[in-house]
């Protein structure tokens, strides 16, 4: 693997997903002060559906399986097993995924270093070979700028601005920490993201996504595990 220059971080988080066994409790999330997108997106070829929560610089995607047969077929063809990754304390697979995109005006060095498998792609989304088969790790993948957060979300539009005006008051994601079950050796893509501070990895723990917003200036936490979503929000 080509080594990155340590003084230059070329990637940033575009969005994060979490696989759930069922659709999230939107009413509970809204009662907390989070605005959820009204639309549910269906992915028939994956056998899944998803809902989104937007913030100023990212979004969270909740994914659940609607059609197990199609999800199983998709897993066989793509290597991405949404059923196995659906959150449960009994499962060993990580329920999380981290979508990445290159920062503006950077070279393709990082993209090449991930040993991208162009055969395993959907809508030009590219996955790293080693990470794709390591189900105990969060899935990490790169997306092109054409479908990146900054290109699909326009805060100047009133409809989009309403989606990020959370009564809870949280605005920008400033740190991402992912807890996972112990693995002897992390794959190179995950190790690289951890080393460069794009995400933090904690091992030998139950799966948990700890998202810090606005540098946790208010010192408050919300634990969504009470509704079977393995996320803690710090703000």
Residue 114's pLDDT band (cuts 50, 70, 90)? very low
What does the DSSP 8-state code read for residue 104? T
The mean of the pLDDT values for the chain is: 87
Quick: pLDDT tens for 173-205. Answer: 999 999 998 777 889 889 999 999 999 999 988
- Would you kindly state where each structural domain of the chain is located, as residue ranges? 11-168
Distances in whole angstroms, Cα of residue 109 to Cα of each of 27, 103, 106, 136: 43, 12, 8, 26
Please choose, from the candidates 49, 15, 38, 43, the residue with its C-alpha nearest in 3D space to the C-alpha of residue 149.
Answer: 15
Answer yes or no: are the C-beta atoms of 2 and 113 closer than 8 Å: yes
Please choose, from the candidates 51, 79, 86, the residue with its C-alpha nearest in 3D space to the C-alpha of residue 65.
Answer: 86
For the ranges 12-21, 108-117, 119-128, which has the lowest average pLDDT?
A: 108-117
Which range, 89-98, 155-164, 224-233, has the best average confidence (pLDDT)?
Answer: 224-233
DSSP per residue over 38-80, as a string? Answer: SPPEEETTTTEEEEEEE-SS-EEEEEEES-HHHHHHHHHHHS-
Strands (E), the chain: 11-20, 41-43, 48-54, 59-65, 96-102, 116-122, 125-128, 139-142, 173-179, 200-202, 208-213, 221-223, 231-234
Answer whether CATH 3.10.180.10 is correct for domain 11-168.
Answer: yes
Instruction: Note the pLDDT of residue 121.
Output: 37
> How far is the C-alpha of 148 from the C-alpha of 59, rounded, in Å?
11
> How far is the C-alpha of 44 from the C-alpha of 71, rounded, in Å?
9
Quick: pLDDT tens for 121-158. Answer: 344 456 677 788 789 999 999 988 888 998 889 988 99
Residue 102's pLDDT band (cuts 50, 70, 90)? confident
Share of the chain above pLDDT 90, in %: 67
């Amino acid at each position: 693997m080509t080594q990155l220059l340590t003084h230059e971080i070329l990637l940033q988080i575009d969005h994060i997903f979490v696989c759930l066994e069922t659709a999230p409790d939107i009413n509970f999330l809204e009662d907390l002060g989070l605005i959820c997108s009204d639309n549910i997106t269906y992915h028939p070829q994956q056998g899944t559906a998803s809902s989104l929560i937007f913030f100023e610089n990212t979004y969270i995607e909740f994914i659940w399986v609607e059609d197990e047969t199609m999800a199983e077929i998709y897993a066989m063809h793509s290597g991405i097993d949404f059923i196995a990754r659906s959150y449960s304390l009994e499962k060993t697979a990580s329920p999380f995924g981290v979508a990445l995109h290159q920062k503006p005006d950077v070279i393709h060095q990082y993209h090449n270093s991930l040993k991208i498998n162009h055969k395993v792609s959907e809508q030009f989304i590219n996955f790293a070979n080693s990470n794709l088969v390591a189900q105990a790790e969060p899935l990490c993948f790169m997306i092109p700028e054409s479908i990146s957060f900054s290109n699909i979300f326009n805060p100047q539009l009133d409809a989009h601005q309403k989606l990020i005006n959370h009564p809870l008051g949280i605005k920008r994601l400033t740190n991402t920490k992912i807890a996972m079950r112990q693995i002897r050796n992390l794959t190179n893509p995950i190790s690289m993201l951890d080393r460069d501070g794009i995400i933090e990895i904690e091992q030998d723990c139950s799966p948990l996504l700890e998202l810090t917003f606005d540098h946790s200036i208010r010192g408050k936490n919300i634990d969504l595990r009470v509704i079977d979503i393995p996320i803690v929000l710090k703000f």
